[in-house]
Structure 1
Amino acid sequence: MNNPGFVELPELQQQLCSCWRQLSQAKSWNANLPVPLLNRCWLRLEVLEVGNLLKRLPVDASAHAPELVRFQHLLRQGLNSEQAERLCWEEFTAEACHLALRRYWEAQQNPQYLWNLSNYLDLLGRYRKNFEQGNCSLPLLILPRSNDQMKLICHWIEG
Structure 2
Amino acid sequence: MIQVVVRVPSVPSSDARSGPAATSGSAATVDGLFLLDPHREELRGALQELEGSDHWHGGLPVLLLERCWLRLSRVPVEGLAYRLPPDCSQEAPELRRYRELVAAGHPAWEAERLCWEDFGADACREALRRFWAAQERGTQGWTLETYLDLIQQYRLRFAAGGSRPVPLLVLARREGHARRDRHRLLWLGPDAAAGRPSMRDTCP
Q: What TM-score range do you get, normalising by the shorter chain?
A: 0.7 to 0.9
Deviates more, 1:86-95 or 1:62-71: 86-95
CA distance in 1 between counterparts of 2:144 and 2:133 reads: 16
Q: Which residue of 1 aligns with 2:30?
A: none
Instruction: State whether residues 59 and 113 of structure 1, in contact with CA within 8 Å, keep that contact through their aligned partners in structure 2.
Output: no
Q: Which runs of 5+ in 2 are unaligned?
A: 1-24, 27-35, 191-204
Find out whether 1:152 has 2:183 as its counterpart: yes
Cα offset, 1:134, TM superposition: 2.0
Secondary structure, aligned partner of 1:41: helix
Normalising by structure 2, report the TM-score: 0.69
Distance change (3 Å), C-alpha of 1:130 and 1:27:
same
Number of aligned residue pairs: give it.
153
CA distance in 2 between counterparts of 1:50 and 1:98 reads: 34
Q: Which residue of 2 aligns with 1:4?
A: none
Instruction: State whether residues 47 and 189 of structure 2, in contact with CA within 8 Å, keep that contact through their aligned partners in structure 1.
Output: no
CA distance in 2 between counterparts of 1:89 and 1:27 reads: 50
Secondary structure, aligned partner of 2:68: coil
Runs of 4+ residues over 6 Å off in structure 1: none
Q: Which residue of 1 aligns with 2:77?
A: 50
Normalising by structure 1, report the TM-score: 0.87
Tell me which of 140, 147, 157 is aligned to 2:168. Answer: 140
Deviates more, 1:123-132 or 1:136-145: 136-145
CA distance in 1 between counterparts of 2:60 and 2:77 reads: 6
Instruction: State whether residues 140 and 172 of structure 2, in contact with CA within 8 Å, keep that contact through their aligned partners in structure 1.
Output: no
User: How many percent of aligned residue pairs carry the same amino acid?
Assistant: 41
- Counterpart of 2:169 in structure 1: which amino acid? L
Secondary structure, aligned partner of 1:140: strand
Find out whether 1:80 has 2:107 as its counterpart: yes
Cα offset, 1:114, TM superposition: 6.8
Cα offset, 1:112, TM superposition: 6.3
What RMSD in Å do the two structures reach over aligned CA positions?
Answer: 1.9
- Counterpart of 1:139 in structure 2: which amino acid? P
Secondary structure, aligned partner of 1:144: coil
CA distance in 2 between counterparts of 1:76 and 1:103 reads: 22
Distance change (3 Å), C-alpha of 1:76 and 1:24:
same
- Counterpart of 1:58 in structure 2: which amino acid? P
Cα offset, 1:143, TM superposition: 1.5
Deviates more, 1:11-20 or 1:140-149: 140-149
Q: Which residue of 2 aligns with 1:35?
A: 62
Q: Which runs of 5+ in 1 are unaligned?
A: 1-6
Cα offset, 1:151, TM superposition: 2.6
